[in-house]
Amino acid sequence: MTHINEDLFDRARTVIPGGVNSPVRAFGSVGGTPRFLVEARGPHVVDAEGREYVDLVASWGPAILGHAHPEVVAAVQAAAARGLSFGASTPSETELAEEIVGRLRAAGDSPLEKVRLVSTGTEATMTAIRLARGATGRDLLVKFAGHYHGHSDGLLAAAGSGLATLSLPGSAGVTEAVASQTLVVPYNDEAALEAVFAERSDQIAAIITEASPANMGVVPPDPGFNAFLVELAHRHGALVIIDEVLTGFRVDAAGYWGLSSRAGDVYQPDLFTFGKVVGGGMPLAALGGRAEIMDLLAPLGPVYQAGTLSGNPVAVAAGLTTLRLATDEVYERLDTAAHTLSTATSDALSAAGVAHVVQRAGNLFSFVFASEPARDYAAVQAQEGWRYPAFFHSMLDQGVSLPPSVYEAWFVTAAHDDAAVSRILEALPAAARAAAEA
């Protein structure tokens, strides 16, 4: 029995807080030792002990084609050989912006006209909010409980993802003044949203919402909810930021907005944020929207934003190549794999007598251990979440790597072929029994 992961974790903890560079990696809510990964290829990751796992984390979303797709790696290598960073304009960053704009245009009447590239989803949402404030001259931001938009100060109130995993209501170090400018509203609650606008409408700069929440587990918007909030905001002179950092270019070629538009659920937000898939596994994210608003950014306008590594050529090569390879056929493969896995997991949980509901947003899915679907953060928190660690560890012991928290979506990739899916299916009955006995 080797203890390489334990030893690496001990060593990491002496020089890195909690041994991790992003909290949820520490296995805090599932217990046990995080696996230190040394390789990722196709549907698999390999840990420092040489164990291979079928992966359903996909680097939390970016690896839509599977890990280390040969053409993406080749494009990255070629870009790197031409120079790691120029701090100047490149032809390829325009191509990536065109690809993003073109994808949304192909899906419907798109308000996305201009794009700026940044390095992380956190930066994208932070900048979008600054833009919304700059455009409206108003201060307040409305966000929904359980939605995660990155770790900038004003967005940590009642956020999902790692904060949900750690049961933290917000973060120390955020000033009262900043926190008081974020109004948190329960999700999928039209009356609560209307009440906030009735009280503060002339002060609200924007509503920010995950296109479909997936950081408290997957909690899709009620049909028409996104259209409702856009209409309400616009009626009161406020903007809408649709955060597609997680869903963008994953659930559809044009993100959740594209999926909705194609289904006839049409809405016109003012700004979008993207991350994860758009960078193909490299640090790259984006914000975009109507030209009239985007042109308020420096150097044209008064809203400042900048980045030494913004539009980094190696990251752009990864993102552009990934998007070009993410064809309709890839999205069909993801949909099929997601359907097979979510159905089989649900069947296994039912066979073991575990109450649960599959929550879906296109090819993203997760489970709540409850008998009713969860429509908001309160419902998600009320589930029998304590069943998840046993389920998670049984899967891990059988060579399947799931997100180490019940509050995260499961991510399939186009590389999840029959062999990878079969390995997951074989592991499910024992994991479901472990959840039943927890």
Active site residues: 148, 243, 276
Amino acid type, 34:
P
Least CB distance from residue 201 to ligand PMP, whole Å?
26
d(C-alpha 407, C-alpha 237), whole Å: 34
Torsion angles phi and psi, residue 287, rounded to 5: -130, 155
Contact flag: residue 148 with ligand PMP (CB under 6 A): yes
d(C-alpha 293, C-alpha 136), whole Å: 10
Contact flag: residue 245 with ligand PMP (CB under 6 A): yes
Q: Site for ligand PMP (CB under 6 A): which residue of 29, 110, 120, 310? A: 120
Least CB distance from residue 120 to ligand PMP, whole Å?
4
Contact flag: residue 127 with ligand PMP (CB under 6 A): no
Query: Alpha helices of 61-214 — where are they, by DSSP H?
Result: 70-82, 91-107, 121-136, 162-165, 176-179, 190-200
Least CB distance from residue 163 to ligand PMP, whole Å?
11
The pairing of strands 44-47 and 37-41 is antiparallel
Residue (of 182, 196, 260) closest to 232 by Cα position: 196
- Under rule CB under 6 A, how many of the chain's residues touch ligand PMP? 16
Contact flag: residue 246 with ligand PMP (CB under 6 A): yes
Least CB distance from residue 226 to ligand PMP, whole Å?
14
CB distance 335 to 363 below 8 Å: yes
Q: What are the strands of the beta sheet with 44-47, ordered from one edge?
A: 37-41, 44-47, 52-55, 400-401
Contact flag: residue 243 with ligand PMP (CB under 6 A): yes
Binding segment (CB under 6 A) for ligand PMP, from list 45-53, 76-84, 136-144, 238-246:
238-246
Contact flag: residue 215 with ligand PMP (CB under 6 A): yes
Contact flag: residue 150 with ligand PMP (CB under 6 A): yes
Residue (of 271, 156, 118) closest to 206 by Cα position: 271
- 192 alpha-carbon distance from chain centroid: 25
Torsion angles phi and psi, residue 290, rounded to 5: -65, 145
Q: Where in 285-344 is the site for ligand PMP (CB under 6 A)?
A: 285
Contact flag: residue 275 with ligand PMP (CB under 6 A): yes
Nearer to ligand PMP, 267 or 348 (CB): 267
Q: Where in 26-65 is the site for ligand PMP (CB under 6 A)?
A: 60
Binding segment (CB under 6 A) for ligand PMP, from list 71-79, 119-127, 216-224, 319-327:
119-127
d(C-alpha 294, C-alpha 290), whole Å: 6
Nearer to ligand PMP, 25 or 149 (CB): 149
Q: Which residues of the chain form contacts with ligand PMP (CB under 6 A)? A: 60, 120-122, 125, 148-150, 161, 210, 215, 243, 245-246, 275, 285
